[in-house]
Chain A
Amino acid sequence: MNIVVCLKQVPETAEAEVKLASDKKGIEMEGLPLQINEADNYALEQALLLTEEHDGDVTVVTLGPDSSDEVLRMSMAKGAAEAVRLAGPAFDRGDPVAIARALAAAVKDLEYDLVLTGCMSSDDGNTAVGMALAECLDLPHATYVTQMEMGDGEVTVGRELEGGLIEKLKMKMPCVLGIQTGINEPRYASIMGIAKASKREIAMKSASDLGLDEGSVGEEGSRTKLEELAYPPVGEGAEILEGTPAESSGKLAEVLREKGFV
């Protein structure tokens, strides 16, 4: 069984303070470590586990700048056989549909029984590329997948709905699945392994390599446009209890007493 995994590199922003770039179209990337998108990491692990069990290869595909090679190398260090990167300015600033269109052009020529993606990214948070990709490839799809059980030419998946309810579906393969975090325990890629993988080839694909009209991908191929970024209004609601930990928690304890919790 061969599996294609679409993944991306994102800046780590959970810990860091995010600062807007001066043009308000992006954020300051300096000082932000880059990493594989969290849900994509689970998708990759799922593909590796499945191909280990059912024999086959994993091909990782990304669309992104040069730095994205790092996540491809990390994927190869973990066991991916091939890596493809859609590279070139034509792909820049695409909306989810334009990104999906580009990815589909690269994926359609690969051999696969399954296409896995993370269900969402931590940067743009579209929660859309994977399912749009399925449509571009004309494949059945399901997202928020937290359970998978392989059958003969089909897979039973559990989709996590609101409230933790699981929706069980039977899907014919090939299909596209958006993988939710927590479905497995992603492995580690050792630095030595990544160094070894850095000698392996990454297939670079430009828009013309893929037979794509440049106007159909990237910003030009997008039907939405990012106008401006801003900081969300914060702290409106909360009355901040100031002081040292002892002082602020003292104030909080008083509040809790007034309200009858203590």
Chain B
Amino acid sequence: MDEILVLAEHREGELRDITFEMLSKARSLGKDAGKSVTALLLGAGVGDYAEALKSHADEVLVLDHGNLKAFNAAVYQQVLSEVLKSREPSLVMIGHTAFGVDLAPGLAVTLELPFASDCIDLAYEGDDLKATRQIYEGKVNATVSFADAPTVLVTFRPSACPVEDAEASAGKVTELDVAVPEEPAMRQFLEYVEAAVGEVDITKADVVVSIGRGLREEENLPMIEELAEALGGVVACSRPCVDAGWLPKDRQVGSSGKTVKPKLYLAIGISGQFQHLSGMKAADTIVAVNKDPKAPIFSEADYGIVGDLMKVVPALKEKIAELRA
């Protein structure tokens, strides 16, 4: 039987959400297309994770080896190549994560696999797989088809697919016997360095007022700080504001920053690139203020105001003050 193979992603002792998101997607794909779902677990001391994966897959392949302790694209690529060559799954899914984007392109080159990255959806039309990707900073969706090949490779965007409940039927666990090379001298893992924690911990706040590129100038920050204060919240931001030096890194919400789950998330002048959305979509209530009615943030938000933040923010501050009075 044809299989869809999902590379489980884990870091520092934990399976990452993307793993279960991909398995969920793979299961719904497999159900329609008559394909089984296999989770591939590579790592050192990761045998326990197989339990968690079992109920999400028909089979869990485990390769537990000391040389796989650090994620090293060079090592992982060699191992994956062996596995793919022997099993020939029709589809391989790797997370479009810092881990996946480092690994997948090289694999596509060496194995000459048809490859699409950062897919937000996958569907079979007959035997043909179609992938949906987002281009132009989320403003356009592209449908991509693949050349005829035994195996197709995709990286799949985090938070693009909800995690489905595990099934009662448990998959089987198979130990793999594949030679694992030592970490090569050309690329050696040294350590993980935790991001510095600043004076404000945005992950602990009930109300987060977050700004993006739309703020345009650092000079406009005080207005946002005042609004945050009026709501008893903290100020956070999207990546461009950190790159521009407006706010420190520890205020960044998004995939390369913090993930926040506040009661209220107010996104001001944030267009809503997926990297940002993945860091805040779990908020209870999301409000977006943006000039562009087509901004992706409005798809995630509960309430939206299409307008100039320079006008809306002062007006909102005033209205809140009126309600308070």
Using a CB–CB distance below 8 Å, which chain A residues touch chain B?
11, 13-14, 17-18, 20, 27, 95-97, 100-101, 119, 122-132, 134-136, 140-144, 156, 158-172, 175, 178, 180-182, 222-241, 245-246, 248-250, 252-257, 259, 261-262
Contact = CB atoms under 8 A, between A and B. Distances in A.
A156 B187 CA distance: 10
Contacts of B147: 222-225
Nearest to B184: A140
B11 interface: yes
20 contacts: A96-B117, A122-B137, A123-B136, A124-B135, A127-B96, A128-B117, A140-B186, A223-B114, A223-B149, A227-B143, A228-B142, A229-B143, A230-B141, A234-B294, A234-B299, A236-B299, A240-B304, A241-B305, A248-B305, A259-B264
Contacts, number: 300
Nearest to B242: A182
B316 interface: yes
Nearest to B144: A224
A164 B257 contact: yes
Nearest to B230: A262
A170 B98 contact: no
Interface stretch (B20-28, B42-50, B285-293): B285-293
Contact of A169 (B99, B146, B188, B252): B188
Interface string B118-158: 10000000000011011111111111111101000001001
Task: Summarize A's interface: helix, strand, loop or mixed.
Answer: mixed
Nearest to A255: B303
**Top 4 nearest A-B pairs by Cβ distance?**
A164-B195, A238-B304, A253-B319, A223-B114
A163 B264 contact: no
Q: What interface size band does chain B fall in?
A: 35 or more
B172 interface: no
Interface stretch (B29-37, B84-92, B105-113, B218-226): B105-113
A240 B306 contact: yes
Nearest to A225: B145
Interface of B: 11, 16, 71, 73-74, 96-99, 101-106, 108-110, 112-118, 130-131, 133-147, 149, 155, 158, 184-195, 207, 213, 231-232, 239-240, 242-243, 249-250, 252, 255-259, 263-264, 271, 285, 287-288, 292-296, 298-308, 311-312, 315-316, 318-320, 322-324
A238 B144 contact: no
Given A128-B104, A164-B195, A227-B143, A245 B312 contact: yes
Task: Summarize B's interface: helix, strand, loop or mixed.
Answer: mixed
A50 B306 CA distance: 44
Q: Which of B109, B185, B194, B257 has the most CB of A within 10 A?
A: B109
Given A132-B106, A238-B299, A253-B320, A172 B187 contact: yes
Nearest to A246: B315
Contacts of A13: 136-137, 139
B115 A249 contact: no
A238 B298 contact: yes
Contacts of A143: 98, 101-102
Contacts of B232: 261
A226 B110 contact: no
A40 B185 CA distance: 28
Contacts of B296: 232, 234
A185 B322 CA distance: 43
B135 to A, nearest CB: 5
Contacts of B74: 140
Contacts of A136: 109
A128 B101 contact: yes
Contact of B117 (A127, A230, A232): A127
Contacts of B243: 181-182
Contact of A164 (B96, B240, B258): B258
Nearest to A228: B143
Given A132-B108, A226-B144, A97 B115 contact: yes
Given A223-B114, A255-B287, 18 more contacts: A13-B139, A14-B271, A122-B136, A128-B155, A132-B106, A159-B98, A161-B192, A162-B16, A162-B97, A162-B255, A164-B250, A168-B189, A237-B300, A238-B298, A249-B312, A252-B303, A255-B303, A261-B231
A97 B155 CA distance: 14
A226 B184 CA distance: 37
A253 B323 contact: yes
Contacts of A128: 101, 104-105, 108, 115, 117, 155
